[in-house]
Structure 1
Amino acid sequence: MANATKKSGDPTACSPGDLSKTKVRETTFENTKLNTVPLNWKEVYYTNCPLVSASNVDQELGWTREEFKKIGVAYAFLRSRRENDWYPHYIHNLDNLFRFGGLFPPVHVHADIRRTRLLGVTHAPHEGGCMIVRSRDDIYLVKDLKGKKIGLSKSLNKIKNDWWRIQEHQGIGLMLRMNGMTMDDVQIVEFPYPDDWYNDPKMLDPMENPSELWLKRDHKRDLAFRPLETALEKGIVDAIYTQSKPFQHLQEATGKFKAIEDLSRYPDWTLQVANIPAAITCTDVMAEKHPELVVTFMKGMIKVGRWANEHKHAAAAILDKQTFYLDVEDTYEGIRHIDMVPNLSPQNLVSVEIGKDFMLSHGYIKNDFDVHEWAAPEFLEKAAKDLIEERWKKVTSAKLPKTTELQTTSRRIG
């Protein structure tokens, strides 16, 4: 394992580390070598964020791999090959890659780096974020933070999107606004960090699936995944943003911290865009040259999503291996009302638009785009149709003496 000797608080995949003890270094395209395998359309790769998604459930089921095997294509985790560094997860510089993860990086990619397609999303509609403080401080309301210090992380990696900061920035601003305050009423303390581990040889040991990263590291209690927590505990700041439920419950369980505001308790669903909905994206090159690969991936996601919807406790046990809920039962409580089948519903596309607009208005992306033009529902629709037809053929062939006209025609019924 790449991180077996790492100490708690050191940076690792998807986490900047303890920002109270970080030396600052800037990473740019000019001083960084990016590495990927040569393009081969007989193989595709996937990459996931450690959040709620059908792809993270599928790492144990393997159903998407089976779908690709049917068409003679190899399907593997991005980091199963040493030649692939971690950057494709953030900048999609691998044409034959599917990404299922947090919203802000793919928005940045489509706006400023390269054209992609939005294939589907999965939303956790009640995880907008919390404001947490030290549990023994005489602070009970957001208005008690007037004039006090709130932490905000700042990546010095100019190659990728600073999604940690965007999520914190957006959540802090919303919580202040819901309490009649603005950023001008508090002191924002920035914590710059190098964020430069993505092509570090020590981080590039091959892994067969995403959760292998945590086999020798307790990600639930590793401060690398709660980067401003040490600064809060030490009194360097008085409050920090954290995500509702994931992270929040882990931090409260220490007895050191408490939430004084929680966006998830409000009825306004537009407050819940905390680097979510989780988005599935692929490159426009794949979508145009090999649409069959995109349809195959979406078939896998639909099948796994349906299974997860019907077996929420089992899905929770799988997701607990890499997500940041407190434990399996907390994971179940977090996902039991989540539709695990990816979709492109009007409401979820508005959520994507909210995230994109915040990034644009605050300088996190340079270029605007139309979310509805980014969305490519034809692949989801074709995948769903193929699954229905496959099921129909399987069921009817066992019940009928010979093939009927309905089985041999592709005409739409109804």
Structure 2
Amino acid sequence: MTAVLKKGNTVPLRWDEVYYTNCPLVSASNVDQELGWTREEYKKIGVEYAFLRSRRENDWYPHYIHNLDNLIRFGGLFPPIHVHADIRRTRLLGATHAPHEGGCMLVRARDDIYRMAELKGKKIGLTKSLNTIKNDWWRIQEEQGIELMLRLNGLTRADVEIVEFPYPDDWYDKPEMLDPMNNPSELWLRRDHKHDLAFRPLETALEQGLVDAIYTQSKPFQHLQEATGKFKAIEDLSRYPDWTLQVANIPAVITCTDEMADKHPELVLAFMKGMIKVGRWANANKQAAAAILDRQTFYLDADDTYEGIKHIDMVPNLSPQNLASIEIGKHFMLGHGYIENNFDVHQWAAPEFLEQAAKELLEEEWIRRSTAKLPEGTALEVTATRLG
């Protein structure tokens, strides 16, 4: 565990700095990186808030193994489960679920295959990262989705041939990937990520006939791949009413280290206040939020992004259903050997930070609105005033 945490490069720890990292998916953090509202919350307490990769000293590994104490991560579910189970203790602060993106089974568009039953005896691709430091999050969702789609159609893994595609997955500390960037969007400005096959490694294998089917995410990725005219989906978990099928590296979750939560809870509160404010704005302005998210995510375009997020609550929460979804993901990882140690998801959750952040925002809004209509110098202007 100690050896893993020492792997990679990070800045020296300073508690007057907080770094964030996120995945290119639906979250308030991906909207906030354009709005900057969370940075304002940190400015109020004299703390610098910056993207993980804004400093050359930081490589990409903290995003996956959380080896930076003053880092807050908002991203896919499987890496933080791996971290909390096997690497270091963290706190689960909130979650945002996309409850209709369980995954699809793609085949070639002109193949004479229209049902999952017709995949019996055929080949399904499965990636395998050779990087032993980080979690193989893409393979986990592939394997989980494949098994679910087979089962729903009366098949098992024994009825198909699973073909593995190992790849190095070793770009995390390469010099060409370590040029500083102030915003995660800068990464996507440098490459056409919606058409970059580096993010869809099995697509070429399917097109070339090395396999007959592959897993892909429902809606993001799926629509990009179908738009090529080369592929079609013959099964889609998002079309089922069963919400327990929709855990494909989601919900996206917010995590911080135990050290940050215990020693500097004000840093956690600042982040959660920012996420609540941005999430509320995104809920009220879904078209605008979709235009922002389209720059980073893998939906087909801004309109497709809007269709994907219009029913998603962008304010992070720790609802019973979200915690149950997280438990489903953890259970699969444990049962398939992706983590070694079990843990209690409800004990991992730290709802007190979300609750306190919401309370403080409500009080601040009450003070702001009240003082606008009262004489100067009232007690309401004292920031220490507690109203409840």
TM-score normalised by the shorter chain: which range applies?
over 0.9
Question: Which residue does 2:259 correspond to in 1?
Answer: 285
- In the TM superposition, what are the counterparts of 1:192-207 in structure 2 within 5 Å? 192-207=166-181
- 3-state SS, counterpart of residue 58 of structure 1: helix
- 3-state SS, counterpart of residue 193 of structure 2: coil
Alpha-carbon spacing, 1:405–1:292, altered in 2? closer, same or farther (3 Å): closer
Question: Which residue does 1:9 correspond to in 2?
Answer: none
Question: Which residue does 2:386 correspond to in 1?
Answer: 410
Name the Cα RMSD after superposition.
1.4
CA distance, structure 2, for counterparts of residue 404 and residue 114 of structure 1? 45
CA distance, structure 2, for counterparts of residue 174 and residue 72 of structure 1? 49
CA distance, structure 2, for counterparts of residue 235 and residue 61 of structure 1? 44
Letter in 2 for 1:234: Q
Q: Does 1:316 align with 2:278?
A: no
Letter in 2 for 1:264: S
Question: Which residue does 2:222 correspond to in 1?
Answer: 248
Residue 202 of structure 1 deviates from its aligned partner by: 1.1
Letter in 1 for 2:386: S
Residue 380 of structure 1 deviates from its aligned partner by: 0.3
Letter in 2 for 1:107: I
Q: Does 1:55 align with 2:29?
A: yes
Q: Which of 133, 137, 149 is the aligned partner of 2:111? A: 137
CA distance, structure 1, for counterparts of residue 173 and residue 195 of structure 2? 25
Question: Which residue does 2:159 correspond to in 1?
Answer: 185
Asked if structure 1 preserves the Cα contact closer than 8 Å seen for 2:103 and 2:218, the reply is yes
- 3-state SS, counterpart of residue 248 of structure 2: coil
Percent of matched pairs sharing the same residue: 81
Unaligned residue ranges in structure 1 (runs of 5+): 1-28
Q: Does 1:273 align with 2:247?
A: yes
Q: Does 1:112 align with 2:86?
A: yes
Letter in 2 for 1:312: K
Q: Which of 129, 139, 142 is the aligned partner of 1:168? A: 142
Question: Which residue does 1:340 correspond to in 2?
Answer: 314
Letter in 2 for 1:40: R
Q: Does 1:124 align with 2:122?
A: no
Question: Which residue does 1:157 correspond to in 2?
Answer: 131
CA distance, structure 2, for counterparts of residue 379 and residue 241 of structure 1? 37
Residue 214 of structure 1 deviates from its aligned partner by: 1.3
Q: Which of 375, 395, 409 is the aligned partner of 2:349? A: 375
Residue 216 of structure 1 deviates from its aligned partner by: 2.4
- 3-state SS, counterpart of residue 353 of structure 1: helix
- 3-state SS, counterpart of residue 340 of structure 1: coil
- 3-state SS, counterpart of residue 220 of structure 1: helix
Question: Which residue does 2:54 correspond to in 1?
Answer: 80
CA distance, structure 2, for counterparts of residue 355 and residue 281 of structure 1? 16
Residue 410 of structure 1 deviates from its aligned partner by: 3.0
Asked if structure 1 preserves the Cα contact closer than 8 Å seen for 2:97 and 2:250, the reply is yes
- 3-state SS, counterpart of residue 244 of structure 1: coil
Asked if structure 1 preserves the Cα contact closer than 8 Å seen for 2:217 and 2:248, the reply is yes
Deviation per residue, 1:150-185 (Å, 9 max, x gap): 000001111000000000000000000110111111
Residue 294 of structure 1 deviates from its aligned partner by: 0.1
Question: Which residue does 1:11 correspond to in 2?
Answer: none
CA distance, structure 2, for counterparts of residue 297 and residue 406 of structure 1? 24
Deviation per residue, 1:364-398 (Å, 9 max, x gap): 00000000000000000000000000000001111
Q: TM-score, normalised by structure 2?
A: 0.97
Deviation per residue, 1:47-77 (Å, 9 max, x gap): 0100000000011100000100010000000
Q: Count the aligned residue pairs.
A: 383
- 3-state SS, counterpart of residue 160 of structure 1: coil
- 3-state SS, counterpart of residue 75 of structure 1: strand
Q: Does 1:400 align with 2:371?
A: no
Question: Which residue does 1:303 correspond to in 2?
Answer: 277
Relative to its length, the structure with more helix (as a share) is 2
CA distance, structure 1, for counterparts of residue 188 and residue 379 of structure 2? 52
Residue 215 of structure 1 deviates from its aligned partner by: 1.1
Letter in 2 for 1:254: T
- In the TM superposition, what are the counterparts of 1:229-240 in structure 2 within 5 Å? 229-240=203-214
CA distance, structure 1, for counterparts of residue 7 and residue 329 of structure 2? 30
Residue 201 of structure 1 deviates from its aligned partner by: 1.0
- 3-state SS, counterpart of residue 141 of structure 2: helix
Question: Which residue does 1:350 correspond to in 2?
Answer: 324
Question: Which residue does 1:98 correspond to in 2?
Answer: 72
CA distance, structure 2, for counterparts of residue 194 and residue 216 of structure 1? 22
Question: Which residue does 1:42 correspond to in 2?
Answer: 16
